[in-house]
Amino acid sequence: MQVYLKLLGAAIFWGGTFIAGRIVSREMDPYSAAFIRFLIASVFLLGTIRFHQGYLPPLKKNQIIPVVLLGMTGIFSYNILFFKGLHTVHAGRAALIIALNPIFISLCSSIFFKERLTIFRAAGILISFLGAAIVITYGNLGNMINMPISRGDFFIFGCVGSWVAYSLIGKVVMTGISPLVSVGYSSAIGTLALLVPAAMKGVFPQMMSLSLIEWSSLFYLGFFGTVLGFFWYYDGINRIGPMKASVFINFVPVSAILLAYLILDESVTWSLVSGAMLVMSGVLLTNFSEQLWRMVRKQ
């Protein structure tokens, strides 16, 4: 049960990143914003590893390239595309595109890791996505068809590709190292990769002019959205697999709109309640389909 609560917590924290990211993207270029976010995260992650293990464990030769790929997909490319997309795309629309993640991760997991994509699991993933779509479109699913595709949308679609790769590579990496070390080292590698373009954009002068709300948003992105969110997500992948863990991503738009209600005093609509119930039903069906099937057969 603990692993499912952590995955839910990660989704809630990631819902908040759309609000924080939107605030930061108004004042900073994508490279600088992503660099500061993961610089904060790397300090916490590497410090935590050092505290718990007494040292930073060295990587074996066969682990170096996969961990570098983690940093370049889930950290470097994902966040450049994330901030570039949020510069022009509304948070809700971005969250809808991000909600496609579980579908692609599930398909790739069934192909590469032979995870069983049963009818129940497939139904759960689709129900969960439908719930996320209802939340984001405020119950008007026709808006999904009428929305024109913009340049910013392609950046967010790029995020999906980066996250799918990050999730699948992580499954391989964690056969030899812990989720904490995987996230910590990939975060550090991604931060180093972001340093050069961020420096060229003048990240250090920009840091001196940031307001308190912008620093607070960056800290949220770094600590809650990365340290806790990434670690809990990877721990979930390690324990229950990419297919079951990724479906929790559909809670992200639900939590984003719920946080907007709590922080921005936006109203709670029937679409939020019904969509959240569908997401929860889809998550339960995906993660506990085998138990449900056994119960049905016994009857």
CA dist., res. 212 & res. 63, Å (int): 39
Give the Cβ contact number of residue 112 at 10 Å: 12
Residue 153 domain boundaries = 2-298
CA dist., res. 105 & res. 150, Å (int): 24
Token pair of 226 as six digits: 């990365």
Give the Cβ contact number of residue 9 at 10 Å: 18
pLDDT per position as a tens digit, 164-206: 999 889 888 887 888 889 889 999 999 999 999 999 989 998 8
Average pLDDT over residues 122-138: 77
State the pLDDT confidence band at 121, using cuts at 50, 70 and 90: confident
CA dist., res. 251 & res. 136, Å (int): 11
Tell me whether residue 177 is exposed, middle or buried, using C-beta atoms within 10 angstroms of its C-beta: 0 to 12, 13 to 18, 19 or more.
middle
pLDDT per position as a tens digit, 246-296: 778 777 877 877 776 777 665 667 776 787 787 777 776 766 666 555 555
CA dist., res. 226 & res. 34, Å (int): 11
Residue with tokens 């806790």: 228
The model's pTM: 0.77
Residue 40 has pLDDT above 80, yes or no: yes
Token pair of 23 as six digits: 């605030």
Q: How many domains does the chain have?
A: 1
Buried b (16+ CB within 10 A) or exposed e, 61-87: eebeebbbbbbbbbbbbbbbbbbbbbb
Token pair of 129 as six digits: 């996505």
